[in-house]
Amino acid sequence: MATGLNEKIFKEAVCYLPGGVNSPVRSFKSVGGTPVFMKSGRGSKIYSLDNREFIDYCLGWGALILGHSHPAITKELKNQAEKGTSLGTATKQETEFAKLIAGAVPSIEQVRLTNSGTEAVMVAVRLARAFSGKRKIIRFAGSYHGHADYFLDCPGVPGEFKKHTLTCHYNNIENTAEMIEKNKGDMAGIIVEPVAGNTGVILPEKRFLPELKNLCLKYGIILIFDEVITGFRFRFGGFQDITGIKPDITCLGKIIGGGLPVGACGGKKEIMRMLSPSGDVFHAGTFAGNSMSVSAGMAALKTLEKTLPYKKMTELTKELCEGIKSLAKESGIKLKINYIGPLFSIFLTGEDVKDWTSAKKQDTEDFKRFYHGLLKEGIYFSPSCFEANFVSSAHTKNDINKTLQAIKKVFKNS
Ligand SMILES: Cc1ncc(COP(=O)(O)O)c(C=O)c1O
């Protein structure tokens, strides 16, 4: 039941917040219309200010792998709030948290906690440059590694700031090898999302990550896996543990904060100890390792370790994605779905999507209609065709069935 309340609140929001939001993609600019203002979330559902219920596949942009308001996390947060939210001192909890992460992700021996994935990536890049004594960083087209200046093309970023950032095509090892050869002698690092999430989900082709690792070994380049989305997503550890490829540095975020702001950068001791205060590479943070984020993160990771919901989430995602494919076929709609574990994206295109160039070929206007059709049916996908969607441990077979029914209806009306 749309009441106009949403539009009214948005109108006020744009008076006080640029674009009415605090992070751009939330504004619905990519899908059009007014963003739905939410007031609460529980399990697999979120609830709007005008009292509509939605099955949520955005899940706090992937942070909420256990669903909204998971009781184990809520309980820990209540306890911790009584004891102090941010002591600003060394705490035993931080060591326990780092130990848990290092135990789960074998390439990580030491961890630096930050307040966001952006910050974790900034620390990783600084370390790669300091350790190698070189300057150039390769990233892949369409990837997102947070909003550090040297990864952005936008007003306010002087061109000089980006002159050491090189862009290659994801899943194209020849192109990457050429770029390295051209810049050898000044190559510090390669940063890659092992499963690309910010182009919409794109899986790495079989030889891509192993050959990337070989190139790094051959040329003495630091390999950074940005596992802000993939970390603890497919198993209790990193995507690197599935491939067996160890990066030198790993960035984490989202899931490890249990729904609170967090990031982490981890790797071998010989690299990590270059960070201040044991080394001279500077990083600091008033709230880095704060007690609320660490408590929520510990509760999330311990719950994941105990319950291992990965198989269930993977099965539900497969059922959903295969179901959507069948419905599209019945309705004569061209689409491709990339999915792995509990991560998926729907591309309205007839072509396989394996890099940024192919992702951009989808029909963004069709996606807008599809998106709003689903919203009307109470399904909340990430509001952009270039974003990933997520299934949580709180999602049920009933949620998947309802979603498929909604999609059937939307396809029929399209
Ligand atoms: C792969 C990746 N790296 C880094 C970031 C930045 O994390 P944050 O938004 O916590 O700064 C994101 C955010 O979505 C991401 O997807």
Whether residue 121 has its Cβ less than 6 Å from ligand 1: yes
d(CA 386, CA 251): 21
Whether residue 250 has its Cβ less than 6 Å from ligand 1: no
Whether residue 199 has its Cβ less than 6 Å from ligand 1: no
Active site residue 144: yes
Order the strands of the 263-267 sheet from edge to edge. Answer: 110-114, 263-267, 249-252, 222-226, 187-192, 136-140, 165-168
Whether residue 118 has its Cβ less than 6 Å from ligand 1: yes
Tens digit of each residue's pLDDT, the chain (414 residues): 456 899 999 999 999 999 999 999 999 999 999 999 999 999 999 999 999 999 999 999 999 999 999 999 999 999 999 999 999 999 999 999 999 999 999 999 999 999 999 999 999 999 999 999 999 999 999 999 999 999 999 999 999 999 999 999 999 999 999 999 999 999 999 999 999 999 999 999 999 999 999 999 999 999 999 999 999 999 999 999 999 999 999 999 999 999 999 999 999 999 999 999 999 999 999 999 999 999 999 999 999 999 999 999 999 999 999 999 999 999 999 999 999 999 999 999 999 999 999 999 998 999 999 999 999 999 999 999 999 999 999 999 999 999 999 999 999 988
Predicted TM-score (pTM) of this structure: 0.97
Q: Which helix (H) or strand (E) holds 19?
A: none
Q: Alpha-carbon dihedral of residues 194, 101, 118, 337, nearest 10 degrees?
A: 30
Which DSSP string do the residues of 306-352 spell out, in sequence order? HH-THHHHHHHHHHHHHHHHHHHHHHT---EEEEETTEEEEE-SSS-
Instruction: Identify which of 25, 192, 254 to mutate to test ligand 1's pocket (most ligand atoms within 8 A of the CB).
Output: 254
**161 Cα–ligand 1 center, Å:** 20
pLDDT of residue 242: 95
From residue 107, how far is each of 94, 145, 182 by CA, in Å? 19, 20, 29
Active site residue 310: no
pLDDT of residue 1: 47
Q: Are strands 53-56 and 136-140 parallel, antiparallel or unpaired?
A: unpaired
Phi-psi region of 69 (alpha: psi -120 to 50; beta: other; left: phi over 0): left
**385 Cα–ligand 1 center, Å:** 17
**159 Cα–ligand 1 center, Å:** 23
Domain with CATH 3.90.1150.10 in the chain: 5-65+309-412
Whether residue 226 has its Cβ less than 6 Å from ligand 1: yes
Active site residue 184: no
**Residue minimizing CA distance to atom 13 of ligand 1:** 146
Whether residue 137 has its Cβ less than 6 Å from ligand 1: no
Domain with CATH 3.40.640.10 in the chain: 71-307
Whether residue 60 has its Cβ less than 6 Å from ligand 1: no
Atom of ligand 1 nearest to the CA of 230: 1
Residues 6+ apart with CB under 8 A from 140: 167, 168, 169, 170, 192, 193, 196, 356
- C-alpha closest to that of 64 among 325, 394, 411: 394
Q: Are 78 and 404 a contacting pair, CB within 8 Å?
A: no
Instruction: Identify which of 228, 254, 386 to mutate to test ligand 1's pocket (most ligand atoms within 8 A of the CB).
Output: 228
Q: Alpha-carbon dihedral of residues 265, 267, 273, 276, nearest 10 degrees?
A: -10
d(CA 153, CA 168): 15
- For the domain made up of 5-65+309-412, the CATH class stated in words is alpha beta
pLDDT of residue 2: 53
Whether residue 404 has its Cβ less than 6 Å from ligand 1: no
d(CA 388, CA 12): 29
Q: Are strands 336-340 and 343-347 parallel, antiparallel or unpaired?
A: antiparallel
d(CA 284, CA 273): 14
Answer CATH for 71-307 from 3.20.20.140, 3.30.420.40, 3.40.640.10, 3.40.50.300: 3.40.640.10
**372 Cα–ligand 1 center, Å:** 25
- From the list 45, 134, 144, 336, the catalytic residue is 144
First to last CA, the chain: 21
